[in-house]
Every structure is written in C-alpha cells, then in structure tokens.
Amino acid sequence: MINVSGSSTQNIDLPPNASLLPTWQVLINTQGLTGSVNIRTSTGSIIRAIGGSRSMLITNTGSSWIYYSFANNNDNLLSISPAGVIIGSSLASMTLQVGVGASNTFTLQTTDPLGVAKTAFSVDDLQRILTPLQPCFSAYKATASANNVTGDGTPYNYICDTVIYNVGSHYNSGTGVFTAPVTGKYSFRVFCAPTNLSSTDTLRLRLITGNRNYLLGEFSAANMANNAVLFGGTVLEVDMDAGDTAYPEITVWAGIKNKGVLGQNDLRTRLQGRLNG
C-alpha cells in the first residue's frame, strides 16, 4: 500500500515491468491528502488522477486496467474497466448520490460516431425521468383523402403523411410504415376516419406487424356517422424484433370499391408509436 498526503499534486509511477505481469494490484491511500495524485506509467503517461480523501485499488489483468475507487471509511465501490462501469458494495446495500449542486440532475450521455455527446436519459430531484432519444413518432394524414381504395373487401394500408415528431426517424411518412430499430416492446395508437359510408357497410381496423396482426375492432356503419373516427384501443402493446415493420390497415365490405380514408388537418386519421423497452 502506498500512503500519500499533503496539499500539492503528487505523482506515483508504476514499475516498468508492471504491464508484463499476469495480474498485480496496488492500493493507494489518500486519506491525508488535500491535493491530488497522478498515477502514471513508467514512461510518465497519466492513467488516472484522483483527489484527496479517497483511496484506490488498481488491478492489472494483463489485458485491461480495473480501478476501484472508494471514499475512506465507506464501503461503496465504483469499478471502471474497458467492459463498463459497475456500482455496488462488497458489504451492504448502497445509495448513489448524483447531481448534488445547482441542477440536482443526473444525466447519462452517449457519443455518436461523429463524437457528438447526446443525452440518453436524465433524472431530476423530483424523480422525473426524461429519455429524449427513445424512439417514438406521431403522424397524421393531412393531404387529400384517399378515395375508392376499399369497399369490396380490399385491405387498404393508409399512410399518415405528416409528421409531428419522429425521434430516430424510424417512421417513414412516404410509405406509412414504422420499422423497429431494436427488439423490444412497443406501444401504438391507431385512428382512422373512413369516408363515403353507407348504413349497411362493415369495417375492420387492424395493425399489421412482422410478428402478427392485431385486430383493433370491427364496426357496423349503421351506428356511425360518415367520416367518424375509428379508434383502435387506448394503447396497443406489441412485441417487435429489430427490423420488423408496423402499419395500419382498414377494410370495408360494401359490395363496391367506393370507400376512402379522410385526410385533413384535424388529425382524425393518425398513427402514434413508441419503444417502451
């Protein structure tokens, strides 16, 4: 164990042959230190800097460095290695405190291939969790209505062509298809306003996905006003694999192909979805 103290910056140089040994450890005690310590290789390259009132156990396995940094008189450990970060305790449960400052917010950031930092999620002191990168979208059909697309039992995959938001750009407003970026559980909300209905018409609304098709409802036009909104459930939970697709489908049986789907800016015909986890 190496004990360091004082108020100035100090350097600890590891032995020249340290990296050649299969496994080795060194414990550095900084309890009496008010300055800082630079842990360096034998060539003077800094591999870790630590502040006072902390201790550090360094382990080299021959292929990676592992650092255990912990406050003195405290069993909580922080393990950092090329494989990731592990927070835990060797003796008991622990509490991780973050954001002790003006913002009181814990933020996890990732870096894209261009080196730009992006916030994956954040938690504030009121326990509000934000996931700004979570894939989600909301779109509606705003262009002219699609006419004469069903009515004879032909399924019609209607397109919500105007996007309100599209985090991750996984929804294609040109085809009306959402493609799952990762395997997981997704939720969807499906709405459709059919046009030119007659009282004898029968309608079916479905969500078509790669794994299975979901029946959202079968309706009789006898109890509906023309251009009424078909609402396919509050939230539909869907399991999807990476690369699977999802899109809405309406079918009308009336004996003749003269039914359509309404398109206008009041969002009657719309589709929403998001990754839950």
- What pLDDT, in 10s, does the model give residues 174-207? 999 999 999 999 999 999 989 888 888 999 999 9
pLDDT of residue 212: 94
Cα Dmax for the chain: 91
Q: Does domain 136-275 have CATH number 1.10.10.10?
A: no
Mean pLDDT for all residues in the chain: 77
Asked if residue 84 has pLDDT above 70, the reply is no
CA-nearest of 274, 192, 263 to 232 is 192
Mean pLDDT of 116-141: 86
Q: Which tokens belong to 194? A: 């059919």
Band of residue 92 on the pLDDT scale cut at 50, 70, 90: very low
What is the predicted pLDDT for the residue at 30? Answer: 63
Question: Residue 51's pLDDT is what?
Answer: 60
Residue 134 has pLDDT above 90, yes or no: yes
What is the rounded distance in angstroms from the CA atom of residue 263 to the CA atom of residue 204? 19
Task: Say how far apart CA 11 and CA 21 lie, in whole Å.
Answer: 22
The mean pLDDT of 143-149, rounded to a whole number, is 90
146 pLDDT more than 70: yes
pLDDT of residue 182: 96
Q: pLDDT: is 53 or 268 the higher one?
A: 268
Contacts of 166 (CB under 8 A, 6+ apart): 137, 138, 139, 173
Task: Pick the more confident residue, 74 or 144.
Answer: 144
Q: Which pLDDT band, with edges at 50, 70 and 90, does 81 fall under?
A: very low
φ/ψ of 91, rounded to 5, equals -120, -35
Is pLDDT above 90 for 58? no
pLDDT tier, 106 (very low <50, low <70, confident <90, very high otherwise)? confident
Rounded to two decimals, the pTM is 0.65
Where exactly are the structural domains of the chain?
A: 2-95, 97-133, 136-275
> What letter does residue 14 receive in the DSSP assignment?
P
**DSSP 3-state of 143:** coil
Q: How far is CA 51 from CA 18, 26, 48, 57, 109, in A?
A: 23, 17, 10, 14, 24
Q: Is the pLDDT of residue 18 over 60?
A: no
pLDDT reported for residue 74:
42
Tokens of 204: 């079916």
In this predicted structure, what is the pLDDT of residue 75? 39
Report whether 262 contacts 172 (CB < 8 A). Answer: no
Structure tokens at 29: 């005690």
Per-residue pLDDT, 91: 44
